[in-house]
Homo-oligomer: A and B are copies of this chain.
């Protein structure tokens, strides 16, 4: 165990692998070559369509101890990972690691297979029950949480070796060309699957919608796909794009959004060429609505919106407020419909989106990003992975990537959530270092990082409720009381990797 630069005690070895402690967001340099894989040659008459999922597993050569991946564009509607794990079990294969781009609540079905030893590790973040059980020590399955950019990096550097990627392919031909734009399980962008298609040792396209050759436009090409298999259904379309996409009506949320809009206005970033990202969720969309109105009013011609894309951003594109959208994942059906039809709505890989180790990611070009938090500390460090119960319940997403890349990262959150203070002395887990966070906005006030003295001054001039972050914490504590420190066992059950691969925090088993 060593203390990293944020004072977090992190292991140097975890589940048999060696890790570097986090130092800062910028200085870690890669000293490696891009990951490689065997060059293959196929018979020019070879068929790739091998049957059902089980046939695909067999054809791929999956064996005990290997690592598999899936992408999470189908999110909580995904049926593939559960089917896959069941088939792997049926084939008697054991000790498999999952290195998917994310695991969702629906994948709780794999819990029995973790207990049974079919799945023995998660090289990816988890949302929901699996993380909770791991945190409680009720499920023995080491987990390494990565940001979207960090995951792409880990595949590209070869730190995570995926033996077989099983990629949900909503519109796919028998020779392996596919996209996510059409079909009963259309999910839009396949941005998270692209690194797997390039770096996994074997690639199996799994489809419920086999179309005549060629499936165009080609998202992932035949030249990287080894096998094609068919399943009855990849997922539940109603849940594939199921994120809340309505602007909040809650007065606290609306107040927070209004303050966030004041921050953007005061930042001076709102001018031609403005680029912007915001997630889903009611407050974020309320901020987007303010941004839209500011852009209209100021006749601002923005450059791009990026990240997971909602219909709200599609409207802004169509209205001419942005020239382009960079889409790593579609958050709703409107986004899915747009990406298949509008050339300015651009699919991008997770690497292009957010990897710190390439010739320049899209997040580097972001002016402003709106991010959420489960907790923030007085050094502006942000937690999105665990909740104040100590349970690992959320994946990092693009949080730390966007915070590092954007000129201004704004955290929006209610001051109090479930009777617990959002700002506290110490976050349970550090996901994103405070050094990369500009402003914390709550309905009770705005805390500006000292790195932005001019923005702070401008906000004060505009009579915004700027408060020192400690003052804001105290005001909130006055209502909620100081949070009781959680008690943890020494046992580390998971790591939170920073985007560059260093360990920013460890997740420990929660004391009963």
Contact = CB atoms under 8 A, between A and B. Distances in A.
A48 B364 CA distance: 12
Interface in A15-49: 26, 28-30, 32-46, 48
Given A34-B36, A360-B175, A217 B346 contact: yes
B404 A324 contact: no
A323 interface: yes
Interface string A210-221: 001110111001
A405 interface: yes
Interface in A282-325: 303-304, 323-324
A360 B223 contact: yes
Given A223-B359, A324-B216, A40 B33 contact: no
Contact of A358 (B223, B340, B344, B349): B223
Nearest to A197: B359
A249 interface: no
A348 interface: yes
Contacts of A449: none
Contact of A29 (B34, B41, B273, B340): B41
A349 B222 CA distance: 11
A35 B39 CA distance: 9
Contact of A348 (B221, B326, B352, B365): B221
Contacts of A42: 358-360, 364
Interface string A140-155: 0000000000000000
A400 interface: no
Contact of A214 (B34, B41, B326, B404): B326
B39 A304 contact: no
Contact of A359 (B26, B34, B40, B349): B40
A351 interface: yes
28 contacts: A26-B43, A28-B41, A30-B38, A30-B39, A33-B39, A34-B37, A34-B38, A36-B36, A42-B358, A42-B359, A48-B360, A175-B365, A176-B359, A214-B304, A216-B323, A216-B324, A217-B343, A218-B348, A221-B349, A221-B352, A222-B352, A222-B360, A222-B361, A223-B349, A223-B352, A225-B360, A226-B359, A341-B343
Nearest 9 pairs of A and B residues by beta carbon: A30-B39, A33-B36, A223-B358, A216-B324, A223-B352, A44-B364, A34-B36, A217-B343, A36-B36
